[in-house]
Structure 1
Amino acid sequence: MFEVLVMAGGFLAFAMGSGFASGQEVLRFFSLYGFWGSLGGGLLAAAIFAGTGALVAADGARLKLAEPDLVYDHYLGKTLGTLYRLVMPIVMFLFLAVMSAGAGAAFQESFGLPNWAGIVAMMGLCFLTVCFDLRTLLQAIGGIGMLILGASVLLSVTVLLDAWERAGGMQQLFLETDSTVRAAEEAGAIGTKSAAGFSWWSAGILYASYNLLTAFPFLNGMGKEASGAGRAAWGGLLGGTFYMAGAMLMNLALRTDLAAVAESQLPLLFLAGQRASWTEGIFAFLLLGSIYTTAAPLLWSLTESLTLSKRPANRRFLAFFLACLAAVGGTLPFDRMLTAVYPLAGWAGLILPVSAILHHFRRRFV
């Protein structure tokens, strides 16, 4: 059981930075689609995310592939798999730019500093990690994904309980929330025009898809290290389920004050700031740590995949160049970057969960 929980935690931590930590992802993909739409999209995303995670992790235990990214060839065939491996550096760079923008937004909203300070600090730290091989530092704070999940769940429950008490009951709370949201939509303050996807079900599918796009090699590698396919499958299933349960709790908390939350670049920090300024400060540091544990491996992988020469000087120059490009991209507004990049990545990765499910169907029944 301990091995299963460790794998579930690893899956959670891997996906946290780009799929959960800021609250903007949950807002755009779920909360803006109404109460029932957000829950329906969340259930659909959970089924795809957790189910596919279980299948890919189990295959990792069975296949023992020499390289994790060969998992694309396994599910898509040699030609399409090779194409995906060529496209992945572009996707990773776009994700890195989004992480850069998120760091800038955190510095601006939480500390009152210019966003470029956060961008430079985050990309500079990622560059140093690649240059000096600071894997020890990265591993030391790698568990921050689990920490921010636990903290965000605690915050969400607290917000919901307070709102419930003010409204006089959960049913009344959701009636008042929906009424407030409808008024804000009519005033043009919020609406599905700024949401990801074109409907609640498309948003749920795209959310799972973009999170899985870069997770396939990780899940395959995680399964490879497991003691058996069954335990690997449970690790992927529980990790995906816990992850989406936390996302749905956050969704409900965001919807208690959606009109105000939608104005924030970092909705989770906004909720924390409503409790106390010191709470927002703690969440800001957790968010920055979560961004770092996602951004540094992205820059690392990008540098490794694009380096033609193994000379350290060439590798460092490429890492510096990529970090600078991501910093320039990070000057764009975080919410707009996220709404543009993540759905696009979701469409690009849509074939992956479909292929994994079809592969297992053929293996079992054909």
Structure 2
Amino acid sequence: MSEKKINWKRVFILAGALCAYLIGSATATGQESMQFFTAHGYIGIASIIVTLLVFGWAASSLIVIGNETKNLEGNVYQYFLGKFFGKVFEWFVTLFLFALTVTLISGSGTIFADFYGVNKLVGAGVMVVLIYITVLLSLQKLVDILSFIAPIIIIFTTIISMISIFDSIDNLFIAEQLMKEVEVVKAVDSWLLSGILYAALGITVAAPFLIKMGSTTQSRGEALLGGLLGALIYSITISIISFALLINIKDIFDKETPLVYLAEGFHPIFGWVFSFILLAGIYTTGAPMFWYVCNSFGAERTTKYRVISLILIFIAFLGGLFLPFGKLVGTIFPLTGVLGLILLIVMAYKQIRLKVKTKQLEKKAM
């Protein structure tokens, strides 16, 4: 049977949704890029290439698996890790995504308070309403919304980064020297491990959404290209951000939101506009995360799903206002990276074993 014709519009929608999901508030502020890539100097570009290769392979593989198993019962984690460990992994990811959703809601309240002078309660409430309304929609609608917002975030962060690069172009050849004059926090000491770990963290957080997203595709080729294109666009974006931070490292090394600092340096209006980008990043990451959490308890568009969604979003709202979930995330984040590495290794093993078996069967058939 021939492969279905590829719908390129759907490919770009998939790629956009993937980018929107990955480019959350941490990426948009520049903090992730600075710790994982910029901190390593020029060799950080090699780290990004490693991330592109690892994440591109893993993301496209998961989307393809989502396409091929959409009509099958059971959890895809169990496909990789077995029934027991697959179930443990599934519930850990669910807990972790809920904790991240809570911190994102808390962050949205802080942004509203800092930039607009609005009470944190109101700001967090606005984000909660947006996320709740979104998860009541179908997965297809969610993917479409994310793919629409993604270009806005990517274009604006790229523009700010490019302006800062040209504005500080004189630092191009002395960036490594400037790095020695400041102390930049590194997520990982090794540039190679940094690239692998970043991809592993991304896959751990994105895997549930990637698999579900794959179930909306019409063909294997469509799923494969959507994952690869999304990974490529995302990698190019963080490359530009990292390079901009590198040649401005002396000014931003100690800033919590380095890209926002650069934006405000050009004109205060840029900082104000960037606040919308941060909120958009929170929304595009928080909505699909919360959708997966709710979907773990019940199928979408059912009464059970709506009731559970309402209860969980209320708990997330209270948590974002009063509970120190940042410490919780900080505690389980290293474990998440380890689990991500395990998942990547098992995925590679499964794919290699499947190819070996396929070749053996082909030889026997000859």
TM-score of the superposed pair, with normalisation by structure 1: 0.81
**Partners of 1:55 and 1:90 in 2: CA distance:** 24
Q: CA deviation digits over 1:196-252, x for unaligned, max 9? A: 234322222221111111322322233333232122111111111110111011000
**Partners of 2:63 and 2:306 in 1: CA distance:** 34
Within the alignment, does 1:213 sit opposite 2:218 as a pair? Answer: no
- Report which stretch shifted further, 339-348 or 46-55: 339-348
Give, as a single letter, the amino acid of the residue that structure 2 aligns with 1:44. Answer: V
Of the three residues 17, 20, 34, the one matched with 2:24 is: 17
**Partners of 2:227 and 2:123 in 1: CA distance:** 33
Q: CA deviation digits over 1:25-68, x for unaligned, max 9? A: 111221122221x212211111111111122222233333446x
Counterpart contact for 1:261–1:267, Cα < 8 Å: yes
Aligned partner of 1:95 in structure 2 is 100
Of the three residues 317, 321, 328, the one matched with 2:322 is: 328
Within the alignment, does 1:243 sit opposite 2:249 as a pair? Answer: no
Aligned partner of 1:63 in structure 2 is 69
**Partners of 2:270 and 2:150 in 1: CA distance:** 17
**Partners of 1:35 and 1:113 in 2: CA distance:** 41
**Partners of 1:339 and 1:40 in 2: CA distance:** 27
Within the alignment, does 1:76 sit opposite 2:67 as a pair? Answer: no
Give, as a single letter, the amino acid of the residue that structure 1 aligns with 2:304. Answer: K
**Partners of 2:39 and 2:202 in 1: CA distance:** 19
**Partners of 1:74 and 1:265 in 2: CA distance:** 40
**Partners of 1:134 and 1:234 in 2: CA distance:** 25
Aligned residue pairs total 345
Q: CA deviation digits over 1:242-267, x for unaligned, max 9? A: 10111011000011222332333222
| 1:345–1:161 distance in 2 versus 1, CA, 3 Å | same
Aligned partner of 1:46 in structure 2 is 52
Percent of aligned positions with the same letter in both sequences? 27
Within the alignment, does 1:277 sit opposite 2:283 as a pair? Answer: no
Counterpart contact for 2:60–2:224, Cα < 8 Å: yes
SS in 2 for 1:213: helix
Aligned partner of 1:174 in structure 2 is 172
Unpaired runs of at least 5, structure 1 = 168-172, 186-190
Aligned partner of 1:228 in structure 2 is 219
How do 1:337-352 and structure 2 match up within 5 A? 342-352=333-343
Please give the root-mean-square deviation of Cα atoms over the aligned residues, in Å: 3.2
Within the alignment, does 1:106 sit opposite 2:111 as a pair? Answer: yes
Within the alignment, does 1:363 sit opposite 2:354 as a pair? Answer: yes
**Partners of 1:216 and 1:18 in 2: CA distance:** 19
